[in-house]
Amino acid sequence: MQEKLGLIVNPVAGMGGSVGLKGTDGKMYKKALELNATPVTPKRTRDLLSHIRNRYRIELLVPPGRMGEEYVAGLNIPFMVIGMVEEETSAEDTKRMAAEMLRKGVRLLIFVGGDGTARDVYDAIGLSLPVVAVPAGVKVFSSVFAVSAKAAAEMVDAFLEGINVTEEEVLDIDEEAFRRDRLASRLYGYLLVPNVREFLQAGKEASNVSKPSVQSKKDIAEYVVKDMNQGILYLLGPGTTVKSIADEVGVTKTLLGIDAIFEGELVGTDLNEKGILELLERYKRRKMIVTPIGGNGFIFGRGSKQFTPKVIKQVGRENIIVVGTKDKLSRLDCLRVDTGDLELDKLLHGSLEVTVGNKEEMLMEVR
């Protein structure tokens, strides 16, 4: 007998990332379109569906069009289209579809989106139904999310094979504050998820501003700056550890954006993908400095969507510098990447040296 599962796709989730909008809530979706942003969720959804091993055991209930139907057609998975949605979808569509799927008795609801989508799903179903959350948004800090689309497929399989469920956090991220370079979040609620810890991301942690942490970041910054070479463009990712490097150079850096330095001068601020690629055209020697974001260990794929696969490929794995305090790294079992390009993710996997102090490095695995 086939299990009845629901699938809801937020078609605009993640579109603001590559163009530097830090989200697509409200009217920002139209702004993303004006900047020629491309949809993120179609590929994420297909990656998810293609990696579910137990596809023969499921029947999917999906909304029409871009919220689900488009991605399951032709995949040899039985599905039924339910409800109606407008051409321009909204949070209300997500809530209505989730509530309808609950009424129709689905055993598991899969959704593709970001923190805003998770809040909408929580509003509709609360703890009434387990979910698998596929990360596709610009802001993906809630611990309900799988670490990647492929990991989400593993969670679906684990659920079908009888794994139990647990409660994980849904965070409310203030998108306006995020655009103003400030991360403000609060606990919004909880959703039930399959209890497969290795496939779930850790929740966002606040930056450590204790005296030992501040000193550690200063030590890292002094070492990295001393090692910087003339004639090289340095792309600086988000986070307080990377910001300490800009502080050491003596330039102003956005805390949550991507900035660029060349020979001690700021040559790009809060860059989107287009701006980064333009700089890569001008500067043929380049490096990228990143740090794990929060408690989830991601160096690419969370909070730095402007570092798109195209950008990362042009810079090259050998030119990626990872920095982080020993305190933060001690709480991580590995570093993670989720660029949206599975082949690139595989190229980034493996051992990587992380600068943790003045002339101090730690070897960590990237998964």
Using the predicted structure, report yes or no on whether residue 336 has a pLDDT greater than 80. Answer: yes
* Greatest extent of the chain over all pairs of C-alpha atoms, in Å: 65
Which range among 11-20, 82-91, 336-345 shows the weakest confidence by mean pLDDT?
A: 11-20
Identify how many contiguous H helices and E strands the chain contains and give both numbers.
Answer: 13, 16
List, as one string, the DSSP characters of 61-84: EE-SGGGTHHHHTTSS--EEE-S-
Using the predicted structure, report yes or no on whether residue 300 has a pLDDT greater than 70. Answer: yes
Instruction: State pLDDT tens for residues 208-257.
Output: 545 467 888 999 999 999 999 999 999 999 888 999 999 999 999 988 88
What pLDDT is attached to residue 171?
86
* pLDDT classification of 111: cutoffs 50, 70, 90: very high
Instruction: State pLDDT tens for residues 131-173.
Output: 999 998 777 888 899 999 999 999 999 999 999 999 999 988 7
**CA dist., res. 137 & res. 134, Å (int):** 9
Count CA atoms within 13 Å of residue 296 on its CB side. 26
* pLDDT classification of 276: cutoffs 50, 70, 90: very high
> What is the average pLDDT value for the chain, to the nearest integer?
87
Looking at the chain, the whole-number percentage of residues with pLDDT higher than 90 is 62
